């Protein structure tokens, strides 16, 4: 699958989108996510117990902070009071925080994406730096304040082709796992993996093929285990992007070499081992991968018309 090259900023934003639930596809809006969070489902599991007056006050105060756009204060308040509310209330509060952070993301991208800010970061940035590292190295007070605000608002620093940008840091949400329902804990675990280690960067695959498949299996299990979760739609979308990665690859790491049409050696090895260690019939995704690898074996592991026909029929690119 050869796609049109993107500019540095466009590519960075594409990576950003991948980290916040998509890969080369649109993501659900914060508004729709918020609406979903407000709809109790079987997975959220609210009991018939009446909420205490104190817990209700905590929720109301927290929601007021979110509504005012004071993310750092809202996060600090949640940290201090999440143990004072019910599991159901805590779950909604955490989901609303995710919505608020995602809603604030485009504005923070624009602020950090300004040419002057990019230049200041570039002067002190070293590979692998986070916001705290850059803050320590720079003497620019305005930059320090901006990056500290970004960190305190639930973002982490990413870079692609020399462009620096924030993404949602799901580890800050994962720390609430002890207080939320099982489906949202599983969701936060999935998203933390995505945000802490991007699956692609600079149009190249950044994880091994075995890890790619294992992440996809985790997503598939979530969808099967929690069909009514408030976050099932998002995980389905992420899972679909991983299926595209599995069977097509990306620009700079295509599954099949552009010239020889032969499958990447590491993909062949990784997929084969995964299929040896797991029962393909236990997963629709693995069943498709197993059929794909058997077909490739018959085609000398080359991208032939038969292989392309299989991909279009079983993993179509929308």
Report the chain's C-alpha Rg in angstroms: 21
**158: β partners:** 165
- Secondary structure class of 155 (helix, strand, coil): strand
φ, ψ for residue 300, nearest 5 deg: 55, 30
pLDDT of 161: 86
pLDDT of residue 218: 98
> How far is residue 6's CA from residue 173's CA, in Å, rounded to a whole number?
31
Degrees to nearest 5, angle at CA 134 with 129 and 137: 120
d(CA 267, CA 256): 9
The H or E element that residue 313 is part of is helix 305-314
Take residue 253 and report the two structure tokens written for it. Answer: 């790491």
CA distance linking residue 143 with residue 145, whole number of Å: 5
* Spatial contact of 256 and 303, defined as CB atoms under 8 Å apart: yes
Q: How far is CA 272 from CA 27, 46, 209, 236, 263, in A?
A: 32, 43, 10, 25, 12
Paired residues of 155 in beta bridges = 168
Cα–Cα distance for residue pair 246/270, rounded to 1 Å: 11
Quote the pLDDT of residue 183: 98
CA angle centred on 17, ends 25 and 209, rounded to 5°: 80
What is the predicted pLDDT for the residue at 118? Answer: 98
Q: Are 242 and 215 in contact (CB under 8 A)?
A: yes
How many whole angstroms from its chain centre is CA 255? 22
Q: What is the pLDDT of residue 12?
A: 42
Domain positions in the chain = 10-213, 255-314
Q: Is 41 helix (H, G, I), strand (E, B) or coil?
A: coil
Dump strand ranges (E) for 161-230.
163-168, 200-201, 204-205
Task: Report pLDDT for 152.
Answer: 98
Place of tokens 């595209």: 244
Distance CA 112, CA 142 (A): 11
Separation between Cα atoms, residue 188 and residue 181, nearest integer Å: 11
Dihedral of CA 176/33/220/300: which sign? negative
Residue 94 is predicted with a pLDDT of: 98
Q: What is the mean pLDDT of each run of 10 residues along the chain (318 residues)?
A: 38 42 35 39 39 90 96 97 96 98 98 98 96 98 98 96 95 96 98 95 94 98 97 98 98 97 98 96 97 98 98 94
Place of tokens 């969808």: 223
Report the interhelical angle of 305-314 vs 284-298 (nearest 10°).
Answer: 170
What is the pTM (predicted TM-score) of this model?
0.84
Q: Which residues of 4-27 are buried (b: 16+ CB within 10 A; e: fewer)?
A: eebeebebbbbbbbbbbbbbbbeb
């Amino acid at each position: 699958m050869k796609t049109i090259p993107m500019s540095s900023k466009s590519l960075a934003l594409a990576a950003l989108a991948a980290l916040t639930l998509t890969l080369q596809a649109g993501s659900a809006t914060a508004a729709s996510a918020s609406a979903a969070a407000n709809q109790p489902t079987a997975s959220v599991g609210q009991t018939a117990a009446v909420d205490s007056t104190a817990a209700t006050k905590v929720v109301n105060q927290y929601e007021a902070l979110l509504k005012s756009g004071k993310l750092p204060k809202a996060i600090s308040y949640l940290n201090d009071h999440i143990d004072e509310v019910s599991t159901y209330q805590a779950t909604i509060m955490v989901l609303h925080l995710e919505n608020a952070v995602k809603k604030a993301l485009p504005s923070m991208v624009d602020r950090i994406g300004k040419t002057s800010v990019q230049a200041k970061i570039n002067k002190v940035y070293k590979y692998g730096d986070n916001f705290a590292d850059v803050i320590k190295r720079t003497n620019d007070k305005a930059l320090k304040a901006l990056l500290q605000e970004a960190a305190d608002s639930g973002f982490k620093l990413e870079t692609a082709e020399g462009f620096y940008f924030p993404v949602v840091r799901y580890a800050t949400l994962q720390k609430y796992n002890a207080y939320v329902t099982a489906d949202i804990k599983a969701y936060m675990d999935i998203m933390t993996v995505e945000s802490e280690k991007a699956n692609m960067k600079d149009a190249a695959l950044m994880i091994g093929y075995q890890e790619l498949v294992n992440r996809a299996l985790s997503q598939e299990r979530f969808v099967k285990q929690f069909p009514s979760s408030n976050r099932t739609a998002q995980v389905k979308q992420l899972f679909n992007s991983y299926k595209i990665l599995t069977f097509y690859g990306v620009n700079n790491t295509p599954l099949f070499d552009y010239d020889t049409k032969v499958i990447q050696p590491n993909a062949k090895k990784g997929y084969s081992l995964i299929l040896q260690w797991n029962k393909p019939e236990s997963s629709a995704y693995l069943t498709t991968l197993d059929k794909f690898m058997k077909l490739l074996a018959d085609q000398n592991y080359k991208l032939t018309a038969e292989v392309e026909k299989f991909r279009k029929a079983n993993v179509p690119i929308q």
